Amino acid sequence: MAKLIDLHTHTYYSDGVLSPSDLVKKAKEIDLAAVGIADHDNIDGLKEAIAASKKFGVEVVPSVEISSYPSSDTEFHILGYFLDWQNKAFQKALAAFQDEREKRAKKVIKNLNNVGYLINFGDLRALARGTIVQPHIAWLVINDLENRKKLKADFGKIPSTGEFIVKYLIPGALAYETRKTVTPKEAIGLIHKVGGMAILAHPAWSLVKKENGKLIFDDEYLDQLVKVGLDGLEVYAHRENEEDTRVCVEHYLDLAQKKKLAESGGSDYHGFGSAGKDLGFADFYLKVPYQVLEDLKSKNKQ
């Protein structure tokens, strides 16, 4: 049986539910050979994860996921692999990103309060061990019993965290607030400075729209990202169903090969009711072979 990996996972240092140790242990239990722990703007879990990797015999790829904004209404997540994550300047930059997330969260909470939802920053800070992200805010609102009446009025039911995020927290939504961020070029440059590879996370979402049941690919934007230093694509990533996933995987695999870009893949595992799949795509047809990691390592040495 071929060795499998998952290079896009999250711990409770951003919007995951598991500790770094428990995530590595879970990877061992489902026979994954390697995991990339890529918390949002945060590397606080890597020391614990690397220690756990020795205990459980699962390779841990030091990673991060940096949010970047080429404009106020467009967001790209850049994955960094093989980082010198102990670099002090790098850690300082990530800490600044987290501070900006806190400032934005306070504004978002005020906006949600203004439209009738009960949520406060103290509860949010207690829930989020590290980086504050949208699923934390959505989860708190949804799980407060005093919000049930308004949620049912707004959604016709109790929504998922993803549904709440789409209605209230994405660009253009009622509670959305911008924050001081970096451009894709700056995020890529930050990753390169610490010896990492910069990979575009989930292009099947970031660069694809679905209109009238048809997937529309924005490959021109990808060209712009490549021009500012992007090293590769998260080819093996999911859409909302198997059919659309197969179309996207085939499209981005072909593009990566034509443009000589590195190929990566992962489930975006959170275990927190957000948009990711189960660890290692255990709940989905898609799987990522260890050869993907070997190829990434080879390209990183070039």
- Per-residue pLDDT tens over the stretch 64-79: 999 998 887 788 999 9
Q: What residue segments make up the domains of the chain, in order of their start?
A: 4-96+181-300, 102-168
The H or E element spanning position 124 is helix 121-127
- Is residue 25 over pLDDT 60? yes
CA distances, 192 to each of 87, 180, 280 (Å): 12, 21, 27
Position 275 scores a pLDDT of 65
Q: What are 185-238's pLDDT values in tens digits?
A: 999 999 999 999 999 999 999 999 988 889 999 998 999 999 999 999 999 999
pLDDT at position 272 over 80: no
In this predicted structure, the answer to whether residue 50 has a pLDDT above a threshold of 90 is yes
288: Cβ contacts below 8 Å, ≥ 6 apart: 4, 5, 6, 7, 236, 265, 266, 280, 281
Residue 127, exposed/middle/buried by CB under 10 A (0-12, 13-18, 19+)? middle
Q: Give the mean model confidence (pLDDT) for residues 14-24.
A: 94
CATH level 2 (architecture), domain 4-96+181-300: Alpha-Beta Barrel (3.20)
Q: Counting Cβ atoms within 10 Å, is residue 137 exposed (0-12), middle (13-18) or buried (19+)?
A: buried
Q: Which residues of 274-299 are buried (b: 16+ CB within 10 A; e: fewer)?
A: bbbbebbbeeeebebeeebbeebeee
**126 has a pLDDT exceeding 80:** yes
- 113 has a pLDDT exceeding 90: yes
Mean pLDDT of the chain: 94
pLDDT of 131 > 60? The answer is yes
178 has pLDDT over 90: no
Asked if residue 98 has pLDDT above 90, the reply is yes
pLDDT value at 299 more than 70 = yes
The share of the chain scoring above pLDDT 90, in percent, equals: 81
Residue 1: its pLDDT value, please?
61
Q: Which residues contact 289 (CB under 8 A, 6 or more apart)?
A: 2, 3, 4, 5
What percent of the chain lies above the pLDDT cut of 70? 98
118 vs 31: CA distance, rounded Å: 42
